Structures are given as structure tokens and as C-alpha cells.
Structure 1
């Protein structure tokens, strides 16, 4: 087996991520035949089959599944190389990549990024909006906002105040005078992840009896609550900013928050600047 050409790895990774040659080609901005040729060239260089071909498209082999995390690591390191080289270490300019949950990426980060860009116009940002914990030791991102404790070594982690999560509805609910407990109102729950209802049970809270919508996407859950589909969970400070109305305020789930950076990255001025600004702002927004 020879060392593969690095410029062939994005095609393999894109096909694995998007499931087809055509979708990978769109993601990479290439023609489909180009992606196919790159996959074939990578297979030839590695001396192994990565996909089986059929009328339904490409099916990854076991070897492809084994190589996927290595390919992702190579691409993350290459992206980190570009970010580090994008500016001098002591200059407030260049790229800073932040990874965080989809809710924080969509509702909390945008105004903070705009404020930081106003104060440091040379900064450029990348946001990895994912509910998975990206590996900062492999430089998948420069800074992470996490709701689970970091476990890798060589990380600088600051514990922020807990993020309170509570029940909200689109309009005020006068459950006391109407005599209708919130459990009898339409409810927005998760679907296959099956976290919300077991968490209520573990807290000793009676379960809702009318599930109006099941969805695992937290952004879609918030959108459904705002549209009046039903009562559901949302970060308390975010729900208040969105004009939602608190339901059963005694029901609250404290969610731990960490702000994390690799210790080597923390020495770079632009990353240190963003880290410090996030540390100051997030304690008031989450």
C-alpha cells in the first residue's frame, strides 16, 4: 500500500458523509465524474476497495468505515494548518473556528460574532454547528462550547454557570384558572433519541399525555413551540429572548456548560481574544 494523495481524501470523505457521488460533488463544487475518478484513484493507490457499486449507488465497505475517522482527522488537521497560517500569532486577524450545539450556533453566537467582528475587523469565523463533541485535540475546531465535560488531555476548560432549561409555550397559559394542567396540553417531544420523557420521569415529573410532535432536531422543536404546536423545552434565557412564555416554572433542568480551547491554541492572540469574549458573554446568555 502506498501513501495516498492528500487531494483525493476530500472526495472519499464527502461521499461517506453525503451518501452518493452526486451529493458529494455538489458539496465539493466538482463534477460528478471528477469525484468518481478521484474515488477510483484513491482505491488504486490504497490497493483496496472502498465502495461496492450497484444500481442504487455506492455502498461503503468495511474498510471504508475503518478509514473514515482517519480521513476526517487528516482534513481537520489540514484545515487547522490553514487557520493557523491565516495570520500572525499576535495579530487579531485570521480564522477562528468554533464548535457548539445547533441551538447555540443558531440563536446565541451570531450577535456575539458580529460584536467581535466590529471590534476586530480582521477576524473571520467558522462555526461547526453540531450536537456531537468535536475533538479539539485533533484540531477539529479552535474553541468549543460544550454541555458535557471535556475528557481529552491538553485542553483548557472553563466551567461557566449552568444553563437552565425549562418548559415554554407560544402564548401565556392560565392553567390555574382554566383548571388544565400542562400535562394535558399538546407537547413537543423528541423522537428516536428518547431523552425528554425519560428525563421528566427521572425527575419525578408526571409525563405529558398529549404528544403533538416528535422531532429530534432542537431547532425544529423551538420552531414548533414558537408556532404554537405545543409546550416544549427551551433554554430559559433563550426562551425569554424569543418572547416565549414560561410554563410550570418550578420544572427546570440545569445543564452544565464548558468553554474549551486547546492549550496550544490559547496562546494565539485571535483565539485568546475570542475565548475571553465568549467567556464573558455566555455567562449572561446561556
Structure 2
């Protein structure tokens, strides 16, 4: 390789890459934890080094020029290689001290992880835990989290996954809420009930209708993207909503809205990056989560 032909600084290339991905200097500066003027100087220096314009300003944002688009493909590959170097280096650590980030849905973060993390902290006080509570899928390859708790099985070959349990969810409401709709004894009776929906409600609506409920958008007068807000609305009697069975069955304010309806089952996968799995710190947390989740009470009908 002719090293003399490499005419730019990687830090400047990184500044260009993050700016292109974030769409503005201010957003890129926040992502990198640096001052915006410093970042801007790095991008400008890269343009000077390469002798090309990389961005055009459009409104308050930045748009890649044709030269920037061509360069982006190569710099992104460099960024992924740099990430792999960082992953390999962190994987060499045998220390059980440090931070491990875990991403899970809002419901799992609020109702499933707390007792497990409390037990983990007692067993491994040197490990700090960051919980990323989001319903969006975080990118483990980009180190947006170390470990993820997910329902769909990942297909990325760079990730390792272990199915740790099977989850279930069903419909819940307060007794007063259910009384407003009259007896709900058959699937067709549910068409006169009101439900709490999600922001992207089509999957829930289609899933319920596959069970013969015959619902329309009018059955969902209240919607929210936040699952925890949805659950609070259910507990306040606003409508019928979906919750994990081991959470809903343990909530005294509600009961199953349709006991005759079989719960919705789904697998629970624990996921980590293949290289990160060699890190002792991450491996300890991964195995601890796997053991704890595998021994959770299996979902089933409520106790009589």
C-alpha cells in the first residue's frame, strides 16, 4: 500500500461522515460531543485537503454534493472498520468493571428489567448499567447499545442471539370501563368497545381482526406512541389496551377484557454483537440476563 497517497486525517473524515449522517453541523457536534465550530473547521479542512466541495447548504441543513456522495461510500466503510477495531479492542478487556448499555422496549424497561438489574447490581457492583428504553430498534453494530432485548429474531450475521423466553400479551381494562360496553362474550361483541391504540396502529388492528373482532379505526379514539402512557390510560378506565400478561395479571386495577381470547404469543431474544460477546463485562451481563429471563414465570391464564 502506498501510504504517501493517503492525504487526509481520519478525524476529519469522521467529522464528514457524522455530519452527512446527521444532516447538520449542530446535530453532528452533539453526536460527537464536540463544539460545532471545531467540527465545522474539521469538515472545511477535509474539503481543502481533498480539493472538493462536500456539502451544499439548503435551508438550515446540509446536502451532499456529487463529490460528497461519492466519498460517502468509502468513508462509511472506514467508519465501520474503525467501529470493528473499537469492538475488538473492547472485547479484549477482562475487567468486570465499567458500563454496559441494555436496550429494550418501554414496557420491558419499566416492568421486566428493574428487578433483574437490581439483582445484577448486587452480584456485580462494579458494573454500571445504562437502560435505553425505546420501542425503536437500536443498532448494536454502531454501539448504540451493547445488549438488546427484542421480539423479532435478528438476521444480521454479525449479531449473536439467544431465545430466552416466550412472552404473551392480551387485552385489559378496568371493570368500570368494561361495564360501559355491556357483556363482551364473543369476538363480534368487541366491535362496540373502545380501545387505546398506538401511533402506528395498523399492526394491532390487523392482529385483533385476525381473531375475528371486526374492529375499525373508529374503535380507537385515543392513541399514543408511548406504551407506558397507554397502560396508564387503560388503568384510568379510558379504554381497552394491550399489556404483557405477567404485568397485566398483576395489576389490581384491571382485569382481562376478553378472557376467552387466547393471548398473543411472541419469542423474546437476547442479542449482542458477535465481537462484544467476548468481552467479559458484557458476557457477564448477557449471561445474567439470559438466566434471569429464562426463569421468569411463564405466561398463562390468570389465577382464579
- From 95, 98, 121, the equivalent of 1:94 is 98
Does residue 151 (structure 1) correspond to residue 155 (structure 2)? The answer is yes
Contact 2:24 2:60 (8 Å CA) reproduced = no
Q: 1:173 to 1:265 in 2, by over 3 A?
A: same
- Equivalence map 1:40-119=2 (5 Å): 40-45=44-49, 49-60=53-64, 63=69, 70=77, 73=80, 76-77=83-84, 80=87, 83-84=90-91, 88-89=93-94, 91-119=95-123
Maintained 8 Å contact 2:181/2:192: no
1:185 matched residue in structure 2: 193
Task: List runs of 5+ in structure 1 lacking aligned partners.
Answer: none
Other-structure match for 2:302: none
1:195 matched to 2:203? The reply is yes
- How large is the RMSD of aligned CA atoms in angstroms? 3.8
Q: Does 1:13 align with 2:13?
A: no
5+ residue gaps, structure 2: 1-5, 300-304
Does structure 1 retain, via aligned residues, the 8 Å contact 2:56–2:64? Answer: yes
Q: How far 1:254 sits from its partner (Å)?
A: 0.6
TM-score after normalising by structure 1: 0.75
The size of the alignment, in residue pairs, is 282
Q: Secondary structure at the match of 1:238?
A: helix
Partner Cα separation in structure 1 for residue 126 and residue 179 of structure 2: 52
Whole-angstrom distance in 1 between the partners of 2:48 and 2:251: 54
Output one character per residue of 1:139-183: Cα deviation in whole Å (capped at 9) or x when no partner: 654333221112233654322232101112355544499346444
Identify the match of residue 268 of structure 2 among 254, 257, 269: 257
* 2:239 corresponds to: 230
Query: 2:132 & 2:162 partners in 1: Cα distance?
Result: 20
Cα pair 1:163 1:256 within 8 Å, conserved: yes
| Whole-Å separation in 2 of the counterparts to 1:211 and 1:154 | 40
Q: Which moved more, 1:41-50 or 1:274-283?
A: 41-50
Give TM-score scaled by structure 2 length: 0.72
Q: Is the 8 A contact 1:13 1:71 kept in 2?
A: no
* Alignment correspondent of 1:248: 258
* Structure possessing the higher radius of gyration over alpha carbons: 2
User: Cα distance, 1:42 vs. partner?
Assistant: 4.2
Report if aligned partners of 1:83, 1:95 keep a CA contact under 8 Å in 2: no
C-alpha deviation, 1:111, in angstroms = 3.5
- Structure with the higher strand share, 1 or 2: 1
Q: Are 1:206 and 2:210 counterparts? A: no
Contact 2:90–2:279 (CA under 8 A) maintained in structure 1: no
Moved more, 141-150 or 6-15: 6-15
